[in-house]
């Protein structure tokens, strides 16, 4: 019985699942589109979107400094934890610009470390934070699209194309 067991097993043991997910997400960010089975695409879609959201919200230190200096606490609360928001706003009100910049860079670095736990290629982490995430700053979610391609000839598995949505 699978009581309280979340996620998709994909017919593999735990370590194999982890590496499969890491490799698929890394390839998705590397090529921005991958062809895979429907089950694998649905298994990694949520994690890939969480990484993009993390990079979009916390990856740009300059933007965090701007929001703090403008006193936009509500926007910061949407992007950061309450403690991080309070620290940035407190530093901004005290006119400690250098310390504010250091704190914002620390938040951005921490976000990169969180993503780097699953994506082992440092170049892909940089691509996610500097190329992919800035595209979706004005988009509230839904960064990936699954398009059906048909059945695979060998075992009739449903094949799909998982791709990052292009911003209009």
Extract the runs of DSSP E, i.e. beta strands, from 15-152: 33-37, 144-151
The ranges of the chain with pLDDT < 50 are: none
Which contiguous run of DSSP H or E holds residue 162?
strand 158-164
- Count of other CB atoms within 10 angstroms of residue 108: 19
The structural domains of the chain, ordered by start, are 14-32+40-139 (3.90.1030)
**In this structure, are strands 158-164 and 144-151 parallel, antiparallel, or unpaired?**
antiparallel
pLDDT at 51: 96
pLDDT at 168: 59
pLDDT at 40: 95
CA distances from 40 to 9, 62, 96 (A): 10, 36, 48
pLDDT at 94: 87
pLDDT at 7: 77
Question: Which SS3 state, helix, strand or coil, does residue 153 take?
Answer: coil
pLDDT at 118: 93
Largest CA distance in the chain: 65
Q: Which of 73, 95, 116 is nearest to 64 (CA)?
A: 73
pLDDT at 135: 92
pLDDT at 151: 97
């Amino acid at each position: 019985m699978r009581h309280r067991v979340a996620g998709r097993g994909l017919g593999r043991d735990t370590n194999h699942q982890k590496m499969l997910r890491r490799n698929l997400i890394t390839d998705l960010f590397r090529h921005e589109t991958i062809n895979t089975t429907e089950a694998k695409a649905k298994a990694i879609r949520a994690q890939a979107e969480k990484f993009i959201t993390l990079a979009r919200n916390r990856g740009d230190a300059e933007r965090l400094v701007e929001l703090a200096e403008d006193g936009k606490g509500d926007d910061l609360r949407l992007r950061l934890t309450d403690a991080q928001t309070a620290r940035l706003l407190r530093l901004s009100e005290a006119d400690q610009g250098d310390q504010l910049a250091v704190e914002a860079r620390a938040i951005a670095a921490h976000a990169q470390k969180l993503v780097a736990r699953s994506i082992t290629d440092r170049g892909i982490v940089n691509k996610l934070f500097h190329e992919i995430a800035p595209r979706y700053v004005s988009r509230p979610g839904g960064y990936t699209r699954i398009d059906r391609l048909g059945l695979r000839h060998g075992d009739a598995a449903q094949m799909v194309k998982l791709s990052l949505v292009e911003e209009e």
